[in-house]
Amino acid sequence: MLRSLKKMAVGAAALALVLTACGTGGQAPEEAAGNGDAAAGASRDLDYAVIIHGVPDGSFWNVVKKGAEDGGAQYGVDVEVTGDPEGSRQAQLIDSAVANQPDGIVVSMANPDALQGSIEAARDAGIPVITINSGEDRSAEFGALAHFGQSEGVAGEGVGERLKEEGAEKVVCLIHEAGNVGLEQRCQGVADGFGGEVQNLQVDLNNPQGIQATVKSTLMGDDSIDTVVGLNPSVTTAALAGVEETGEEIKVASFDIDADVLAGIQDGTILFTVDQQQYLQGYLPIAMLVLYHDNGNTLGGGHPVLTGPAFVDSENVDQVAEFVQAGTR
């Protein structure tokens, strides 16, 4: 399964290059815009709303935002990125976007049930919808054209397999948002790939000191635990502080990327992290929506277009760090 996943992830990266080369609807962007003298990325009367389950300027979502805005700049279309981590408020943002009749909507679905009515209303209004990041298993059900993201379960399986190779015996998986199905799928995937004992532990994303204290007390209370997995860079960093306070040699692994996690991989305190290449989750949907508008093109054939997992470890961390500084990883 992971071998096939690697092929699909490479395909998604190659797709970005193909779309860049093809321009809009198979034409140069200036031709599609009706202005033969305009440069690539000339302005077009198309606008797209990207609505995420987070803060657009956060350390993860700002890369998605940059990808979407870079896609908009390349294709000469307007892109607005908004978001809210709470499901009902995210639904309200979708409703507001539908009222403005954009040419397409991109939505991340951490809480699909809260968004179903709003997404179906967009579809009923004739607005094409693409889902990203979370909710891949409900995307087609809601009438979305495609889904871009990583399979959280498969990504988790890859983590579990790597931890087994590292000699882990008992793993704690930290879930930082109650009700986030993607996080639950990650931990279940870790358990499936690991094949040993995995304990899920609920923590509060907004309370780093609490995460640190909870991880420390959990480890001190059970000396059979030798590995901690954070599902978010800031959670991993807080967990690492708790691990270090125990004075024990506990393995730490992560999902997603920020400067602290990369530094931890470089200094050997973090084994690896899962990179879902979220820049592609912003860029590729804008490219597809433009191509769908111009040429009726779709991607994925009814299956998710996978952007990950790609693993960052001691072998490639220095190269990836350069891309992170550029805001594209």
Domain boundaries, the chain: 2-150+276-308, 152-275
- Model confidence band, residue 179 (pLDDT cutoffs 50, 70, 90): confident
Contact 205, 175 (CB under 8 A): no
Q: Note the Cα 85 to chain centre separation in Å.
A: 14
User: If residue 132 lies in a helix (H) or strand (E), which one and from where to where?
Assistant: strand 129-132
2-150+276-308 falls under which CATH superfamily?
Answer: Response regulator (3.40.50.2300)
Report the C-alpha gap between 257 and 293 in whole angstroms: 33
Contact 250, 243 (CB under 8 A): yes
Calculate the average pLDDT of the chain: 89
Structure tokens at 103: 């040419």
Report the C-alpha gap between 118 and 175 in whole angstroms: 27
Structure tokens at 229: 């997995």
The mean per-residue pLDDT over the stretch 203-215 comes to 97
Q: What order do you get walking across the sheet with 78-83 strand by strand?
A: 78-83, 47-52, 104-108, 129-132, 146-149, 305-306
Strand partners, 132: 108, 148
Q: 152-275 sits in which CATH class?
A: alpha beta
Q: Has residue 66 got a pLDDT over 80?
A: yes
| Same fold across 2-150+276-308 and 152-275 | yes
Q: Has residue 18 got a pLDDT over 50?
A: no
CB atoms within 10 A of CB 28: 16
Report the C-alpha gap between 64 and 83 in whole angstroms: 12
Contact 275, 284 (CB under 8 A): no
The mean per-residue pLDDT over the stretch 233-254 comes to 97
The larger pLDDT score, comparing residue 245 to residue 59, is at: 245
Report the C-alpha gap between 66 and 57 in whole angstroms: 10
- Model confidence band, residue 180 (pLDDT cutoffs 50, 70, 90): confident
The set of residues, in sequence order, having a beta carbon less than 8 Å from that of 72 and lying 6+ positions away, is 48, 78, 79, 286
- Model confidence band, residue 39 (pLDDT cutoffs 50, 70, 90): very low
CB atoms within 10 A of CB 156: 31
